[in-house]
């Protein structure tokens, strides 16, 4: 029990450490480069294969007062770019040798430009993930993008990319993704064993720590919770949390949802660990395999063109697979992809006769009473009237 | 001083009005005539290709902005929000969704046809993707996603160009052939592209006329009318060639006569301030804001909004000798597809080349493609040019976000600041 507590304490310390102490320690120890990335579509394997530490930068949550970051954005822009700029301006990100900005929305896209203007000495790349999924078109384009990224990293002192190293990195991340999927499965089957706020801090720590350390942490956690007989089921409603893929909800909000009577049995949190759905094949050219995974094995997503799919059907399927009784749509305020997607997802959910409710949040929100009441009422309604 | 009615009597304006009216009439009759309609967007529009297949373009942003100018967007937005669309998101989308829910009657009062094809020219705006997913849900028609890579590194690479060309060749052209039953005719496309280049030459001459002091045009309030045909359904048509020839002649005549730009109250008598504007106008209060500028003697000599459908003044022209490549380059070169450093360079260049007293940002809530990063742009352009920057906030078509008193107050303060800079008053 105390080993579990220690593990979770460490994960939460890493998650809350906006000074990125572990990254600085890693750099001092290895002399390697560290490159930050924003959600969601990050090819961490390429960085890892070149000896670069990929570091997830997900804003500063509710732990940092935003002073200069607000001077960069109007009131109707979401919170994550403000706190990210704040982190950069207060020196927290000095340990990063570069930043990757994957294509998720106009705000993050333009943040890459702010970075270029402000931190001219750093590697800054906008990573334009393909919206055309034909291997000869989108595949060739993204492969070239990855090769250019790799060359940029090498110019800054990273090891050149080799197929052998990339294959080893793919293997390391496959293992990590398997562990994450395993914990999601365990939470689906026995949510009392894996509270979401615990899983979440592990995932967040895994975005900062080296993948090998993250995998060890996930495996230890799983062994500990499976052995823990004190965790027993409660009368809670099973829900899917949808829409929180970029700016993350504060940890207090996740705890609030669970305390209000919900078991979160699937979610969109920290998706960098799960955007590739299954193992990337180790046979053949590993870069081709990674490209193919990004085209054909990526999760359906509000920021990804839905080619031939009926919008929202994937969410319906996730609800069924996780045996959830309803959906909590939880989007950050002013998040265009999530909020524009929501009416289509809601329509699909309603067609399937699944109950839902919706609220918005900001990463630094601190008042959850209203959400607690809303989620509690929703959980009660599921338990009382739903067939699920 | 001429009345506003007089000010609308330029031949080019009458011509444009007729062109647009005819286009909407053709659209309304399309279900009977069998003409095929393709919904697409202004940035990255492939009008020459669509016209080469004999299809009629429908631009949802244009319908939304027209709804804003005609005072209809408030109700359309309310209708969309009632059906679950968030107050936080793009008002163009909500206005369009609301307009469809209310019967899809377009700006001229005629019903718009359903799309035969949705061409998602995914250029410089993420919302486009969501918007056409919403439309596809509604219309259940063929949809082509044309992914136009962002110029994140500030340049177009061979890989980016090939990606776009391959999509046009292998996805879009077959889809157009399927919808229209016509074979792709590259010679016909080249004819359209050659006409585009002619019209673009004349448009650039019109826009660059603002380098004269006094400027004969207003490049934002007037500019949005000048870009109308070329940014929408007419690029590559003979109508557009003739319109821009006529417009250029009129503007050159204004230069010859030393006239200032046309305003809602007629010709501007005295140019007091020359400014560059970044961002789109608030369509619901377009004339009101224009009047605020005109009352101060402020002329917009260059604007970035007039580059959203193509940046022509730095040399790009559609090139018939490389038809698909030129379309790809056009798409990738549209203003909101340029990274922030390029946008800063461009605005700073405008400030210098158009002898502007300063630059002003109209930050619209709806469009994060424009707005996110504008405060950084403000600081950078001020730093590079030494000219004062101003900042006002509004929205595209949601009238709830326009506060006339606030905007007026900010504008007056801004122009006072320019005045102080000129006279040295208040400068240590």
Closest Cα of chain B to A214: distance in Å?
Answer: 32
Tell me if B341 and A113 make a contact (CB, 8 A cut-off): yes
Tell me if A74 and B340 make a contact (CB, 8 A cut-off): no
Closest Cα of chain B to A137: distance in Å?
Answer: 6
Helix, strand or coil, per DSSP, at residue B8 = coil
How far is the C-alpha of A341 from the C-alpha of B127, rounded, in Å? Answer: 10
Contacts of A77 in chain B (CB under 8 A): 368, 371-372
- The pLDDT tens digits of the residues spanning A20-30 come to 999 999 999 99
Contacts of B118 in chain A (CB under 8 A): none
The crossing angle, in degrees rounded to 10, of helices B340-353 and B374-385 is 40
ipTM: 0.96
Closest Cα of chain A to B391: distance in Å?
Answer: 11
Interface test with B, best of A81, A110, A128 (most B CBs within 10 A): A110
B177 belongs to a structural domain: yes
Report the residue from A114, A137, A307 with minimal CB separation from B166.
A137
pLDDT of residue B184: 98
Q: CA angle B61-B66-B72, nearest 5°?
A: 110
Closest Cα of chain B to A71: distance in Å?
Answer: 7
**Could you report how far apart the first and last alpha carbons of chain A are, in Å?**
33
CA atoms A244, A245, A248, A253: torsion sign: positive
Tell me if A111 and B373 make a contact (CB, 8 A cut-off): yes
Contacts of B410 in chain A (CB under 8 A): none
Report the residue from B134, B157, B372 with minimal CB separation from A73.
B372
Report the residue from B365, B371, B375 with minimal CB separation from A71.
B375
Tell me if A131 and B166 make a contact (CB, 8 A cut-off): no
Tell me if A141 and B130 make a contact (CB, 8 A cut-off): no
Q: Tell me which chain B residue has its CA closest to the CA of residue A128.
A: B149
Structurally, how many domains does chain A consist of? 1
Report the residue from B84, B88, B339 with minimal CB separation from A343.
B84
Structural domain range at position A71 = 20-161
**Given its phi and psi angles, is residue A42 left (phi above 0), alpha (psi -120 to 50 degrees) or beta?**
beta
Structure letter (DSSP) for residue B291: H
Residue range A145-164: mean pLDDT, rounded: 98
B272 belongs to a structural domain: no
pLDDT of residue B108: 83
How far is the C-alpha of B54 from the C-alpha of A359, rounded, in Å? Answer: 46
Q: Is A255 exposed, middle or buried (0-12, 13-18, 19+ CB in 10 A)?
A: middle
Helix, strand or coil, per DSSP, at residue A279 = coil
Tell me if A116 and B341 make a contact (CB, 8 A cut-off): yes
**Could you report how far apart the first and last alpha carbons of chain B are, in Å?**
41
- The pLDDT tens digits of the residues spanning A321-373 come to 999 999 999 999 999 999 999 999 999 999 999 999 999 999 999 889 999 99
Closest Cα of chain B to A139: distance in Å?
Answer: 9
Q: Identify each DSSP E strand in B350-425 by its residue range.
A: 358-364, 389-394
Tell me if B344 and A117 make a contact (CB, 8 A cut-off): yes
How far is the C-alpha of A67 from the C-alpha of A82, rounded, in Å? Answer: 9
How are beta strands B117-122 and A123-127 bridged, if at all?
unpaired
Tell me if A340 and B89 make a contact (CB, 8 A cut-off): yes
Percent of chain A exceeding pLDDT 90 equals 96
How many angstroms separate the Cα of B8 from the Cα of each of A5, A163, B280? 75, 67, 22
What six digits make up the tokens of B73? 């967007």
Tell me if B84 and A337 make a contact (CB, 8 A cut-off): no
pLDDT of residue A191: 98
The crossing angle, in degrees rounded to 10, of helices A163-189 and A286-296 is 40
428 residues of chain B, pLDDT tens digit each? 344 444 446 889 999 999 999 999 999 999 999 999 999 999 999 999 999 999 999 999 999 999 999 999 999 999 999 999 999 999 999 999 999 999 999 888 899 999 999 999 999 999 999 999 999 999 999 999 999 999 999 999 999 999 999 999 999 999 999 999 999 999 999 999 999 999 999 999 999 999 999 999 999 999 999 999 999 999 999 999 999 999 999 999 999 999 999 998 899 999 999 999 999 999 999 999 999 999 999 999 999 999 999 999 999 999 999 999 999 999 999 999 999 999 999 999 999 999 999 999 999 999 999 999 999 999 999 999 999 999 999 999 999 999 999 999 999 999 999 999 888 765 44
A360 belongs to a structural domain: no
Residue range A184-197: mean pLDDT, rounded: 98
CATH number at residue B58: 3.40.50.11890
A42 belongs to a structural domain: yes
Tally the C-alpha atoms within 13 A of residue B16's C-alpha that lie toward its C-beta. 21
Tell me if A340 and B90 make a contact (CB, 8 A cut-off): yes
Contacts of B168 in chain A (CB under 8 A): none
A118 belongs to a structural domain: yes
pLDDT of residue B427: 47
B324 belongs to a structural domain: no
pLDDT of residue B202: 98
pLDDT of residue B6: 46
Tell me if A77 and B368 make a contact (CB, 8 A cut-off): yes
Tell me if B83 and A125 make a contact (CB, 8 A cut-off): no
Which residues are CB-neighbours of B310 under 8 A, at least 6 positions away? B200, B230, B231, B316, B330, B333, B334
Interface test with A, best of B163, B174, B401, B402 (most A CBs within 10 A): B163
Contacts of A136 in chain B (CB under 8 A): 166
Interface test with B, best of A71, A89, A101, A137 (most B CBs within 10 A): A137
Cβ distance A22 to A39 under 8 Å?
Answer: no
Tell me if B147 and A340 make a contact (CB, 8 A cut-off): no
Q: From A273, A253, A335, A248, select the one nearest A60 (Cα to Cα).
A: A248
Which residues are CB-neighbours of A323 under 8 A, at least 6 positions away? A188, A238, A265, A388
Tell me if A342 and B371 make a contact (CB, 8 A cut-off): no
Q: CA angle B323-B329-B331, nearest 5°?
A: 105
Tell me if A113 and B85 make a contact (CB, 8 A cut-off): no
B88 belongs to a structural domain: yes
How far is the C-alpha of B117 from the C-alpha of B179, rounded, in Å? Answer: 7
Contacts of B120 in chain A (CB under 8 A): 305
Q: Tell me which chain A residue has its CA closest to the CA of residue B362.
A: A74
Closest Cα of chain B to A114: distance in Å?
Answer: 7
Structural domain range at position B158 = 4-186
Helices (H), chain A: 2-16, 21-30, 44-49, 80-89, 106-118, 140-155, 163-189, 196-205, 211-227, 251-259, 286-296, 313-321, 336-351, 369-385
Helix, strand or coil, per DSSP, at residue A238 = strand
Report the residue from A76, A130, A336 with minimal CB separation from B126.
A336
Tell me if B339 and A126 make a contact (CB, 8 A cut-off): yes
pLDDT of residue B107: 81
Exposure class string for A190-210: b at 16+ Cβ within 10 A, else e = bbebbbbbbbbbbbbbbbbbb
Q: From B120, B152, B99, B151, select the one nearest B42 (Cα to Cα).
A: B120
Tell me if A126 and B150 make a contact (CB, 8 A cut-off): yes
Contacts of B93 in chain A (CB under 8 A): 340
B106 phi and psi angles, rounded to 5 deg: -80, -175
Tell me if A303 and B344 make a contact (CB, 8 A cut-off): no
Rg (alpha carbons) of chain A, rounded to whole number:
20
A69 phi and psi angles, rounded to 5 deg: -60, -35
The crossing angle, in degrees rounded to 10, of helices B238-257 and B186-208 is 10
Contacts of B147 in chain A (CB under 8 A): 130-132, 138, 305
Report the residue from A134, A137, A346 with minimal CB separation from B84.
A346
Helix, strand or coil, per DSSP, at residue B195 = helix
How far is the C-alpha of B24 from the C-alpha of B18, rounded, in Å? Answer: 10
CATH number at residue A29: 3.40.50.11890
B389 belongs to a structural domain: no
Contacts of A341 in chain B (CB under 8 A): 130, 133
Percent of chain A exceeding pLDDT 70 equals 99
Structurally, how many domains does chain B consist of? 1
Interface test with B, best of A132, A144, A304, A329 (most B CBs within 10 A): A132
What six digits make up the tokens of A54? 């990929």
Residue range A111-133: mean pLDDT, rounded: 97
**pLDDT band for position A2 (cuts 50, 70, 90):** confident
Residue range A59-75: mean pLDDT, rounded: 93
Report the residue from B126, B365, B369 with minimal CB separation from A337.
B126
Tell me if B167 and A137 make a contact (CB, 8 A cut-off): yes
Strand order in the sheet with A262-266: A262-266, A237-242, A326-332, A356-361
CB contacts < 8 A, A to B, total 156
Interface test with B, best of A313, A343, A361 (most B CBs within 10 A): A343
B83 belongs to a structural domain: yes
pLDDT of residue A307: 84
How are beta strands B262-263 and B266-267 bridged, if at all?
antiparallel
**Is residue A206 over pLDDT 60?**
yes
């Amino acid at each position: 029990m105390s080993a579990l507590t220690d593990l979770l304490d460490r994960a939460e310390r890493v998650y809350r450490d906006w000074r990125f102490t572990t990254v600085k320690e890693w750099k001092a120890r290895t002399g390697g480069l560290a490159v930050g990335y924003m959600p969601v579509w990050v090819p961490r394997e390429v960085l890892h294969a070149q000896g670069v530490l990929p570091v997830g930068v997900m804003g500063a949550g509710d732990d940092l007062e935003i002073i200069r970051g607000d001077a960069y954005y109007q009131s109707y822009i979401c919170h994550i770019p403000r706190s990210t700029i704040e982190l950069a301006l207060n020196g927290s990100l000095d340990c990063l040798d570069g930043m990757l900005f994957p294509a998720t929305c106009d705000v993050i896209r333009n943040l890459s430009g702010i970075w270029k203007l402000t931190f001219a000495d750093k590697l800054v790349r906008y990573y334009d993930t393909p919206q055309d999924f034909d291997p000869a078109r989108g595949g060739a384009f993204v492969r070239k993008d990855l090769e250019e990224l790799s060359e940029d990293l090498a110019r800054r002192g990273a090891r050149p990319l080799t197929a052998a190293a990339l294959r080893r990195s793919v293997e390391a991340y496959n293992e990590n993704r398997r562990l994450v999927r395993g914990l999601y499965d365990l939470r689906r089957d026995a949510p009392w064993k894996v509270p979401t706020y615990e899983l979440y801090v592990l995932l967040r720590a895994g975005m900062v720590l080296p993948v090998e350390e993250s995998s060890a942490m996930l495996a230890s956690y799983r062994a500990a919770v499976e052995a823990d007989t004190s965790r027993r089921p409660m009368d809670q409603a099973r829900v899917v949390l949808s829409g929180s893929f970029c700016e993350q909800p504060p940890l207090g909000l996740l705890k609030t949802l669970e305390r209000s009577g919900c078991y979160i049995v699937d979610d969109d949190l920290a998706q960098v660990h799960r955007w590739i759905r299954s193992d990337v094949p180790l046979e053949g050219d590993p870069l081709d395999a990674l490209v193919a995974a990004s085209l054909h094995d990526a999760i359906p997503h509000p920021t990804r063109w839905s080619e031939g799919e009926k919008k929202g059907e994937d969410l319906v399927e996730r609800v069924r697979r996780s045996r959830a009784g309803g959906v909590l749509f939880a989007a950050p305020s002013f998040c265009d992809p999530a909020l524009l997607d929501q009416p289509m997802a809601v329509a699909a959910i309603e067609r399937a006769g699944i109950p839902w409710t919706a609220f918005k949040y900001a990463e630094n929100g601190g008042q959850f009473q209203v959400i607690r009441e809303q989620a509690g009422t929703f959980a009660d309604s599921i338990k009382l009237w739903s067939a699920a | 001083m001429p009345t506003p009615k007089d000010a609308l009597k330029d031949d080019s304006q009458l011509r444009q009005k007729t062109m647009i009216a005819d286009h909407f009439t053709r659209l309304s009759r399309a279900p009977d005539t069998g003409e095929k309609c393709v919904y697409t967007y202004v940035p990255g529009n492939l009008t020459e290709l669509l016209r080469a297949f004999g299809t009629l373009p429908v631009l949802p942003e244009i319908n939304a902005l027209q709804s804003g100018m005609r005072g209809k967007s408030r109700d359309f937005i309310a209708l969309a929000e009632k059906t679950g669309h968030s107050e936080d998101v793009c008002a163009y989308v909500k206005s369009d969704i609301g307009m469809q829910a209310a019967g899809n009657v377009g700006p001229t009062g005629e019903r718009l046809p359903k799309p035969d094809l949705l061409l998602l020219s995914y250029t410089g705006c993420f919302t486009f993707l969501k918007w056409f997913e919403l439309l596809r849900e509604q219309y259940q028609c063929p949809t082509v996603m044309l992914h136009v890579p962002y110029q994140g590194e500030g340049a177009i690479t061979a890989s980016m160009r090939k990606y776009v060309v391959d999509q046009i060749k292998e996805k879009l052209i077959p889809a157009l052939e399927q919808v229209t039953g016509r074979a792709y005719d590259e010679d016909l496309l080249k004819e359209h592209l050659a006409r585009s280049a002619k019209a673009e030459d004349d448009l650039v001459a019109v826009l660059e006329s603002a380098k004269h002091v006094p400027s004969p045009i207003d490049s934002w309030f007037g500019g949005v009318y000048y870009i109308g045909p070329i940014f929408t359904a007419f690029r590559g048509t003979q109508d557009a060639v003739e319109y821009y020839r006529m417009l250029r002649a009129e503007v050159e005549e204004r230069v010859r006569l030393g006239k200032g730009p046309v305003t809602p109250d007629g010709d501007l008598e005295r140019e007091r301030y020359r400014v560059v504007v970044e961002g789109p106008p608030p369509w619901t209060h377009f004339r009101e804001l224009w009047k605020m500028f005109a009352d101060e003697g402020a002329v917009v000599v260059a604007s970035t909004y007039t580059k959203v459908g193509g940046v022509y003044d730095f040399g790009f022209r559609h090139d018939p000798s490389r038809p698909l490549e030129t379309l790809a380059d056009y798409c990738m070169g549209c203003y909101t597809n340029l990274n922030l450093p390029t946008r800063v360079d461009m605005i700073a260049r405008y400030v210098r080349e158009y002898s502007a007293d300063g630059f002003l940002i109209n930050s619209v809530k709806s469009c994060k493609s424009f707005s996110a990063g504008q405060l950084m742009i403000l600081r950078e352009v001020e730093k590079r040019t030494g000219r004062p920057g101003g900042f006002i906030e509004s929205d595209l078509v949601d009238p709830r976000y326009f506060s006339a008193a606030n905007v007026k107050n900010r504008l007056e303060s801004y122009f006072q600041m320019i005045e102080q800079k000129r006279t040295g008053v208040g400068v240590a």
